[in-house]
Amino acid sequence: MSSYEYRPIPAGVADGLRARDDAGQTRGPYVDDEGGAPLRCCLTRSAIGERIVLVSYAPLRRWAEEHGADPHAYDEVGPVFLHADGCDGPRHDGFPAEFVSSRRVFRGYDKRGHIVGGRLVSPASGHAEEVASAALDDLFADPAVEVVHVRAVEFGCFFSEVRRPV
């Protein structure tokens, strides 16, 4: 099984989004009274009473800037939750345990930032990492796939970026 890097929103990018998000807005933080919000700064869920913020984020835009690509209409902007007061990032290495909570769509993008493939992944109890790795193996078998984005099926929200193992 290949070892893939599930990448949260980097700390510097998250800091920028807290100041002004990718829709050009400043969003106010709030206390999460229910807990369970999917935090994209650390790939965990919020705890009851944590201060969080919901911002607009364009994940492919960041990758495209780094790689000199122009994703055109694939440059989507959508909602993500972050810790309101900063975050130390993931509390684990490798496969994020939160993945097992629901179905995901894995979207492969080429060097232009255009979608070139995708997979619907429904993690089986106790086998989520194997199911995710198999989908990533399949997508990355196509040499055109440069990066994969993982998204929630029900809401389409960005979960994380995945890159080829080094």
User: What would the 3-class secondary structure string for 39-50 be?
Assistant: ECCCCEECCCCC
Res 65: pLDDT: 92
Q: What is the pLDDT along the chain (166 residues), one digit of tens a residue?
A: 457 888 899 999 999 999 999 999 999 999 999 999 999 999 989 999 999 999 999 999 989 999 999 999 999 999 999 999 988 888 766 667 666 667 889 999 999 999 999 999 887 666 777 888 889 999 999 999 999 999 988 888 898 999 887 6
- Report pLDDT for 94: 66
pTM of the predicted protein model:
0.89
Q: Is 119 left (phi over 0), alpha (psi -120 to 50) or beta?
A: beta
Q: What is the pLDDT of residue 1?
A: 45
62: left (phi over 0), alpha (psi -120 to 50) or beta: alpha
| pLDDT value of position 89 | 83
128 backbone φψ class: left, alpha, beta (φ>0; ψ -120 to 50): alpha
The answer to whether 78 touches 107, Cβ cutoff 8 Å, is no
Cβ proximity of 78 and 158 under 8 Å? yes
Q: Are 76 and 60 in contact (CB under 8 A)?
A: yes
Give the contacts of 97 (CB within 8 A, at least 6 positions apart).
Answer: none
